[in-house]
Amino acid sequence: MGIMEDNARLEEQDKRYIWHPFTQMKDWLDEKPVIISGGGGCFLEDVYGNRYLDGVSSLWVNIHGHRKKEIDEAIREQLDHIGHTTMLGLSNIPAIKLAERLVRLIQRSPAGSRPSPNKVFYSDNGSTAVEVALKMAFQYWIHKGKEARTSFLSLRNGYHGDTLGAVSVGGIDIFHSTFAPLLFKTHKAPSPYCYRCELDAAYPGCGLSCLRKMEEILSEHAAEIAAVIVEPLVQTAGGMIVSPPGYLGGVRRLCTNYGVLMIADEVATGFGRTGRMFACEHEGVTPDILCLSKGITGGYLPLAATIATEEIHDAFLGEFRELKTFFHGHSYTGNPLGCAAALACLDIFEREKILEGLGPKIGMLEDFLREAVKFDHVGDARNKGLMAGIELVKEKATKEPYPWEEKRGWRVCNYARDHGVIIRPLGNVVVIMPPLSIGLEDLDRLLKVIGEGVASATA
């Protein structure tokens, strides 16, 4: 067989055997798939040799670029020792070293005077990190004698993963409503979505009325709420919704005042995406439980960490007969290869001063967004750090959205793909989230193609 025949066979096998996530397979079967065969830096390469700028960081996980030498070598070196061993009754060197690094990183962050989370529980993706946090919070209150705390408070437009506990605290109807009969009850507070405020208020004159609504819920139901869970600063899958200044700090104060735990889901916002290592740092917030994943290994291997305070951890200590043990675990918990990749990822942050170099890139992105919002069919263009969303609207004056089925966001992405750029929309919101390592020249190209795509898709 020649190369073209091999590629055609791959395309046929993909359509015959694979069910792709978040994909309408009827559409997929009618399209020619892009099959990635390699890459390097901020670029991907398909089986035909076409190169694409990875404008979505391979779904928000890639931090330092593809085939990063230091991470490649760290994984190879670990393979000379062992690929995996359970952490049920055992430990391993990379997991120990990574836990210490993560805790020290959190303690070094300028995030208030509360005790920092310092007990690391490993899992393998963002959803499981959140599941761990929810179960920890629930069982913590049982050990504290608060057995009635069987609910959680989360936000509309929130997204915390696709397992059932994570979906229960989610708030995106198009993703979650189908599974409603399977979910446990939660309380929902308004999203801090200033462009489409559900309270018909306007920031800053509103005085953060969405926080007042959260307080109303807590004042009535705090005794049954185990924790408040939020995505700090940016509700990602909800449409790259950026909360206004003061909101996150206000959530922390309410949790403290009403005696409930605060879970910060930094699966997407952690590891430099907002311009600081963790989004909570921007408002000096220390959560009781911190969830991390996505960029933790630089986009190489599945790994997640749920980090709790010592006080939460110590509530689970007791005699064996008391059954205070946290009965939760995963086959690949603390996988040594993933932990080795994560250690190398953190080394690169320090050695290459990644955070210190983000200023010009964020500045270029914000300059672009200020121009993009002038387009006739762009209602809002928002960002925090190198996380951004461009919201397309049918009518700018009324904020009327395009009908979902018109796939305007996808039209932008299809245009971009035809011009050598891979991005992915959230409905009518075009997402921009490149690797932190992207150079200014490539970032400029990415933004120009997106701008052209928006103009084309809304013409």
On whether the CB atoms of residues 125 and 304 are closer than 8 A, the answer is yes
DSSP of 222-282: GGGEEEEEE-SSEETTTTSEEPPTTHHHHHHHHHHHHT-EEEEE-TTTTTTTTSSSSGGGG
pTM above 0.95, yes or no: yes
Return d(Cα 456, Cα 418) in angstroms, integer: 12
Q: For residue range 169-188, list pLDDT tens digits in order.
A: 999 998 999 999 999 999 99
Q: Give me the architecture of the 76-351 domain, per CATH.
A: 3-Layer(aba) Sandwich (3.40)
CA torsion, ordered 407, 412, 414, 416, to nearest 10 deg: -170
Tell me how far apart the alpha carbons of residues 24 and 404 are, in angstroms, rounded to a whole number. Answer: 14
Q: CATH topology of 34-63+355-457 equal to that of 76-351? A: no
**Which single residue is written with the structure tokens 């960002």?**
383
- Whether residue 374 has pLDDT greater than 70: yes
In this structure, the number of other CB atoms found within 10 A of the CB of residue 317 comes to 10
Decide: helix, strand or coil at residue 314: helix
- Tell me the pLDDT of the chain averaged across its residues: 96
CA distances from 175 to 21, 52, 163, 382 (A): 12, 28, 12, 23
Domain ranges within the chain, ordered by starting residue: 34-63+355-457, 76-351
Q: How confident is the model at residue 146 (pLDDT cuts 50, 70, 90)?
A: confident
CB under 8 Å to 355, separation ≥6 — which residues?
272, 275, 276, 277, 349
Tens of pLDDT, residues 267-322: 999 999 999 999 999 999 999 999 999 999 999 999 999 999 999 999 999 999 99
- Quick: pLDDT tens for 212-259: 999 999 999 999 999 999 999 999 999 999 999 999 999 999 999 999
Closest by Cα among 322, 314, 457 to 377: 457
CATH code given to domain 34-63+355-457: 3.90.1150.10
Range of weakest confidence among 63-72, 112-121, 134-143, 339-348? 112-121
Residue 237: CA count within 13 A, CB half-sphere:
23
How far is it, in rounded angstroms, from Cα 192 to Cα 241?
Answer: 8
CB-CB contact of 190 with 225 (8 Å): no
DSSP element (H, E) containing 206: none
Contact 429, 409 (CB under 8 A): yes
Task: Judge whether residue 99 has pLDDT over 90.
Answer: yes
